[in-house]
Amino acid sequence: MLRDIIRIDPEKCDGCGQCVSACPEGALQIVEGKARLVKESYCDGLGACLGECPRGAITIEQRQAEAFDPAAVHEHLQQPAEAPPRPAGGCPGSAARRLERPRDPPGEAGGQPRPELAHWPVQLRLVPPTAPYLQHADLLVCADCVPFALGDFHQRLLRGRAVLVGCPKLDDAQAQVEKLAAVFALNAVRSVTVAHMEVPCCGGIVSIVEAALAKAGRTDLEVRDVTVGVRGTVEEECPEAAPAEPGRRASA
């Protein structure tokens, strides 16, 4: 059938992978260092990936192509993603996947603290809003300095949670709001914990999360705010409480 569908210019594409994480249908992959359309029936032709390409390599064209198949997309997104081969260029961690852990007692692995990371990737820019591990998740939105400062980060904050990592100072705040709003809108997220450093600029990640919740209309979720000191202490931890009004933070 004749319809709108994306076209990728291989001469312009540098394999950065930003379009892969921006496609809600999972229609794109990095293959041999270039973005490729996985299957025509996965592409709805609406171009959610266009604005994410820094090289302008993606356009919409009208041509003969397979019809868009929402049922096939749904089945495709339910499949566990395997670790992708390392491409010649671009991000090797663009595919969302769960990480299976050995069945050791909680927090223990051969006498050592057990890593609690249960999925990959973790960077907010790379995680697709439709990643299966976000559905019904207890979500941790974490400033990227926190794991370096908090010695028991895995056991104290990460265990049992899906994590999204970003920097409120160096990353694009509006892009973070848009990505998180999509996460909240598309997934039945059960709770939200935000962890950030005590320095003033880092606290902006709380405002980003609150703005995303408001944009997604998630009035049922309240932000649990954890502030970590530069010396590795938890300076303030607002406990989980009853649902609050949008934009209202939990009180200590």
User: 4 Cβ partners below 8 Å, 6+ apart?
Assistant: 45, 46, 60, 61, 62
| Residue-number span of the structural domain to which 63 is assigned | 2-78
- What does DSSP say about strands 234-237 and 191-197: parallel, antiparallel, or unpaired? unpaired
pLDDT digits (tens, 9 = 90+) for 17-29: 888 878 888 899 8
Spell out where 47-168 has E strands: 58-64, 97-98, 119-120, 138-143, 162-166
In a domain, 203, yes or no: yes
Q: Are 94 and 15 in contact (CB under 8 A)?
A: no
Say if residue 63 is in the same domain as residue 146.
no
Does residue 89 lie in a domain region? Answer: no
Q: pLDDT by residue (tens digit) across 113-166?
A: 889 999 988 999 888 888 889 999 999 999 999 999 999 999 999 999 999 999
Q: Are residues 153 and 49 part of one domain?
A: no
Residue 86 lies in a domain: no
Are residues 63 and 122 both part of a single domain?
no
Q: What is the pTM of this model?
A: 0.61
**Degrees (nearest 5) of the Cα angle 154, 156, 157?**
70
Same domain, 70 and 130: no
Instruction: Give pLDDT tens digits for 215-251.
Output: 999 999 999 999 999 999 998 777 653 333 434 444 3
